[in-house]
């Protein structure tokens, strides 16, 4: 239950201090200096400035929202104070760098960092005061935005986000844009100011129109007769598939490679969604099935394992694919049998152990003649049809796209079936599901087997595309990544699996220049999502309803509670 204590300026200062500590940490680990090398708008705005002022704005915006719930008049001073405290903390860091040699402890605490933190050409106390005042101004902007209608505010955020993304992805966009558009939008480093204005206005309009018409479109679709609604959805799906089919010709080799990486995670996320999102069983060893599919494909198709070639004939990709998927399916059943009576944390630990067992078996010297050991396996077979062999990312893209469509079809049909409803009943309450005559053993095994099958399919494609296998590709972080994709996209949601993979896998691949800070951003995104949007970016309707009903119940209890109400026995 929420506290009845009103929000005060002390609370605002505390939140501002938390923001300041975060800003100091970001600066001392080197993110500010690294981001200062990337221009968003040429000679006007760098990514480091976006990072610093964006953090102060977020702190101010959150504080304004909390303060406004208790007293509208407190919102302005609270937001300005919080943002000012955030910037004051950074100012103190800049002053401390100038007065004390911190490089013996923090290697990034250089005079260059202090110059990056303080605005313009200022330094010393004057620069610190100016930065603190700029923080208060940012808090004022956050307060003013609360008076702006939601659609316009979403449009502003959409336009700003588009400008930042265009600036960050200049190296990716320049090769695929026509030269006339490139010259208009970009300089040698960063967007031109005219290009930035055009991008902002365009995406402001698109975001505004989307917010304005999305509910209208949904309501119109729901009002259509079932047959017309099905035709509309089929037409939308057909258009989407046509666009996806044409993408490799537009994107080029690099972006096609990124799309392939996203595709592998989409297939795995759709499979794990069955286990975690539908059936509610936490699986932290999902990478094991991915590895089994990959290694089965590699062992059956490579000519470089003489002992295996004496036992089994060398197969082509298409001959080995059913065996790779079947091996993962069998592993899912074998894992499911001993863990059927466990749930929650115990199930997570068991599956985590299973994933580590598979990784260690692959690394072991005893199995090196059969699995290649630490050196891995090379010469993995590639898909071949007549005289055509898929070798480059653009060719592999179509095979991965077909696999995604198959995985989507299977999981969507399962979700709306009697089996899917049984899984969801198990997710909500196993005891009640058993009382309703749902076969817990059989349905749990089916969930594990389905998830493992799709992981094996993704692993087999991954092995063939890469052409070689090494154990380092199958550590526990793969399982964590797939689970994070589901959490960010929306647990139990099929579109959420796609959106989560694009956000957590695609964007970091596009921003490889900041790869050393990838996990910092990763963690920050997960924390933000859990605090502010736990249902995910594209959530399942049932999960949204559950979360918001729980919030509504808490709010209702808090509103109805009276300090003078008599206690009841």
- For residue 569, is pLDDT > 50? no
* Residue 17 domain-assigned (yes or no): yes
In the prediction, which pLDDT does 290 show?
95
In a domain, 553, yes or no: no
In a domain, residue 246? The reply is: no
Closest CA to 138 of 240, 192, 70, 63: 63
Q: Coil, strand or helix: which one is 233?
A: helix
| Cα 186-187-193 angle, rounded to 5 deg | 70
Q: Is residue 139 within 8 Å of residue 81, measured between CB atoms?
A: yes
pLDDT in tens, 530-545: 877 888 888 887 777 7
C-alpha to C-alpha distance for 320 and 380, rounded to whole angstroms: 11
Q: How confident is the model at residue 230 (pLDDT cuts 50, 70, 90)?
A: confident
- Enclosing domain of residue 465: 255-546
Are 13 and 149 found together in one domain? yes
Domain check: are 272 and 199 in the same one?
no
Pairing between strand 384-385 and 39-41?
unpaired
Instruction: Indicate if 294 and 397 belong to the same structural domain.
Output: yes
CB 425 within 8 A of CB 438: yes
One domain, residues 499 and 412: yes
Q: Give me the number of domains the chain comprises.
A: 2
pLDDT, one tens digit per residue, over 29-85 is 888 998 998 999 998 899 999 999 999 999 999 999 999 988 888 999 999 999 999
> Is residue 562 domain-resident?
no
- 272 and 206 within one domain: no
Check: CB of residue 446 under 8 Å from CB of residue 419.
Answer: yes
Please write down the long-range contacts of 382-385, taking CB distance under 8 Å and 24 or more positions apart: 382/317, 382/464, 382/465, 382/467, 383/317, 383/318, 383/464, 384/316, 384/317, 384/318
Give me the long-range contacts of 381-389 (CB less than 8 A, separation at least 24): 381/297, 381/300, 381/301, 381/302, 381/314, 381/315, 381/316, 381/317, 381/320, 381/464, 382/317, 382/464, 382/465, 382/467, 383/317, 383/318, 383/464, 384/316, 384/317, 384/318
In a domain, 250, yes or no: no
In contact, 16 and 136? CB cutoff 8 Å: no
Assigned domain for 555 exists = no
Query: Does residue 74 lie in a domain region?
Result: yes
Instruction: Indicate whether 189 and 260 sit together in one domain.
Output: no
End-of-domain residue from the set 196, 219, 242: 219
Q: Look up the CATH number of the domain holding residue 461.
A: 1.10.3470
pLDDT in tens, 295-354: 999 999 998 888 888 888 899 999 999 999 999 999 999 888 888 778 778 888 999 999
The tokens of 458 are what? 């993704």
pTM of the model: 0.85
Same domain for 276 and 207: no
Domain contains 2: no
| Residue 211 and residue 307 in one domain | no
- Who's near 363: CB < 8 A, 6+ residues apart? 373, 374, 471
**Same-domain status, 179 and 285:** no
User: How many Cα atoms are found within 13 Å in the side-chain-facing hemisphere of 568?
Assistant: 3
449-484 confidence digits (pLDDT tens): 999 999 999 999 999 999 888 888 898 989 999 999
Same domain, yes or no: 379 and 446: yes
């Amino acid at each position: 239950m929420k506290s009845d204590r009103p929000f005060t300026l002390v609370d605002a200062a505390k939140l501002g201090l938390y923001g300041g500590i975060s800003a100091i940490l970001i600066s001392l680990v080197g993110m500010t200096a690294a981001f200062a090398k990337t221009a968003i708008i040429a000679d006007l705005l760098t990514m480091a400035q976006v990072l610093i002022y964006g953090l102060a704005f977020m702190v101010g915006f959150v504080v304004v929202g909390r303060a406004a719930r208790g007293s509208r008049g407190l919102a302005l001073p609270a937001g300005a104070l919080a943002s000012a405290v955030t910037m004051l903390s950074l100012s103190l860091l800049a002053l401390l760098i100038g007065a004390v040699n911190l490089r013996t402890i923090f290697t990034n605490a250089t005079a260059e960092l202090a110059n990056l933190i303080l605005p313009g050409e200022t330094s010393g106390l004057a620069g610190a005061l100016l930065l603190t005042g700029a923080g208060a101004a940012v808090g004022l902007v956050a307060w003013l935005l609360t008076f702006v209608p939601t659609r316009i505010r979403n449009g502003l955020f959409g336009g700003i986000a588009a400008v930042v993304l265009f600036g960050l992805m200049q190296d990716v966009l320049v090769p695929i844009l026509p030269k006339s558009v490139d010259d208009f939008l970009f300089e040698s480093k960063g967007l031109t100011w005219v290009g930035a204005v055009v991008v902002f206005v365009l995406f402001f309009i698109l975001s505004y129109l989307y917010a304005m018409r999305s509910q209208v479109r949904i309501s119109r679709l729901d009002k259509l007769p079932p047959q017309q609604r099905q035709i509309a959805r089929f037409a939308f799906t057909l258009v989407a598939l046509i666009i996806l089919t044409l993408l490799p010709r537009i994107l080029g080799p690099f972006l096609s490679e990124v799309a392939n990486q996203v595709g592998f995670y989409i297939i795995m996320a759709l499979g794990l969604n069955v286990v975690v999102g539908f059936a509610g069983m936490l699986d932290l060893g999902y990478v094991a099935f991915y590895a089994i599919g990959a290694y089965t494909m590699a062992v059956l198709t490579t000519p470089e394992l003489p002992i295996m070639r004496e036992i089994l004939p060398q197969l082509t990709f298409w001959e080995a694919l059913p065996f790779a998927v079947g091996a993962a399916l069998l592993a899912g059943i074998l894992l499911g049998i001993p863990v059927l009576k466990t749930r929650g944390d115990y199930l997570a630990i068991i599956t985590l152990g299973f994933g580590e067992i598979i990784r260690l078996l692959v690394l072991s010297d005893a199995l090196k003649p059969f699995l290649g050991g630490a050196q891995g396996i090379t010469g993995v077979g590639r898909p071949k049809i007549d005289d055509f062999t898929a070798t480059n990312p653009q060719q592999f893209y179509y095979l991965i796209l077909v696999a995604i469509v198959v995985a989507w079809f299977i999981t969507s049909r399962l979700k709306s079936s009697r089996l899917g409803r049984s899984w969801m009943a198990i997710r909500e309450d196993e005891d009640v599901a058993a009382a309703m005559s749902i076969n817990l053993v059989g349905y749990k095994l089916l969930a594990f087997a389905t998830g493992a099958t799709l992981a094996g399919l993704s692993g087999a494609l991954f092995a063939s595309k890469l052409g070689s296998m090494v154990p380092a590709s199958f550590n526990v972080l793969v399982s964590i990544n797939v689970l994070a994709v589901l959490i960010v996209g929306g647990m139990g949601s099929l579109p959420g699996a796609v959106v989560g993979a694009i956000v957590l896998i695609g964007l970091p691949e596009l921003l490889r220049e900041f790869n050393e800070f990838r996990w910092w951003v990763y963690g920050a995104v997960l924390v933000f999502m859990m605090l502010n949007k736990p249902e995910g970016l594209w959530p399942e309707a049932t999960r949204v309803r559950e979360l918001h009903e729980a919030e509504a119940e808490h709010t209702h209890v808090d509103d109805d509670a009276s300090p003078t109400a008599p206690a009841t026995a």
